[in-house]
Amino acid sequence: MSKTVKNLIIFAGLVILAIRLVSYKAALSEAPMSEGGNSGLLNPPASRQTGIINKGLYPEAQQASKREKTSKTLETSAYTETPEPMKTSETKCEPTLKPMPFMLFREPETMSANLVRPALDSHWLVVAGQAWGMQHQPLSGLQVHLWGELDGFTINKHRLSGSAPAYGEAGFEFALKNLVVDSEGSLFIQLLDAFGSPLSHPVTVQTYADPEQNLIMINFKQVQ
C-alpha cells in the first residue's frame, strides 16, 4: 500500500470522528436544562427521583414526605369529623312561694312540757308559741290552725293567739293527749286572719317520742 492511500484512510477516519463529535454536541444543546443549569441528561425524571427516595437513598427527603402526608391526613380528618349532638339537661322549675305577711320566727324549739305546764305530764304532746308584729309587739286575736295525722288520729284544731298567756301575751297552745310519737311531714301549723285567710305558709311540725321533747315551740312574726 502506498503512502498516499494510507494518508487518505487516516483523513477519512478523522472526518468520521469530527462528524460524531458535532452530532454529540448537537444532542447536548437540544437536551432541556434543569433549574440548577444542568442538562436533563444529568437529572433523572421525577418518577425516577421518587423511586430513589422510596428506596431510602435520601432519608431526609423520605421523612419530610411522610410528615407532609400525615399533616394532610390530619387536616382531612379535622374537616370530616362528625360533631356529637349536644346533651340538654332537664331543668326542674320549683314553684315560687308567694310572700306572706307572717313567717316562721327562728326554728322550732323542743323541751319538756313540764317546764312550762307542770299539769301536763309526759303523755301530752304540746304545740305552742306566740304571734308578734313587725315591731316585735304581741298580736292577739289571730287564728292558729293545726292539722294533720298522728299515730292514725286525724287532727284539725284552731286556737287564738293570746289564749294561752303561759307562753306570752299572744301565746297559743295545742295539747294532744297520748300522741307523744315520732313523726315528720304529717303535722302542720298555719297562721290565719279572722276570716280564715292565710297569713303565713304552712309550717311542718316534727314530733318526737322522747318525753323530754314533748313541747314544741313555734313562733310567728309579721314581716310586711
User: How do residues 163-192 score in pLDDT, each as one tens digit?
Assistant: 999 999 999 999 999 999 999 999 999 999
Residues 73-99 have pLDDT tens digits of: 555 544 455 556 565 555 555 567 789
pLDDT beyond 50 at 146:
yes
Alpha-carbon gap, residue 4 to 9, rounded angstroms: 9
Those residues whose C-beta lies under 8 Å from the C-beta of residue 91, and which sit 6 or more positions away, are none
Alpha-carbon gap, residue 205 to 144, rounded angstroms: 13
Nearest to 222 by CA among 145, 146, 96, 136: 136
Query: What are the cell numbers at 165?
Result: 298567756
Those residues whose C-beta lies under 8 Å from the C-beta of residue 208, and which sit 6 or more positions away, are 110, 180, 182, 214
Contact 216, 207 (CB under 8 A): yes
- Give burial (CB, 10 Å; 0-12/13-18/19+) of 147: middle
Residue with the bigger pLDDT between 95 and 119: it is 119
Mind listing the domains of the chain with CATH numbers?
42-73 (no CATH), 102-222 (2.60.40.10)
Alpha-carbon gap, residue 198 to 189, rounded angstroms: 11
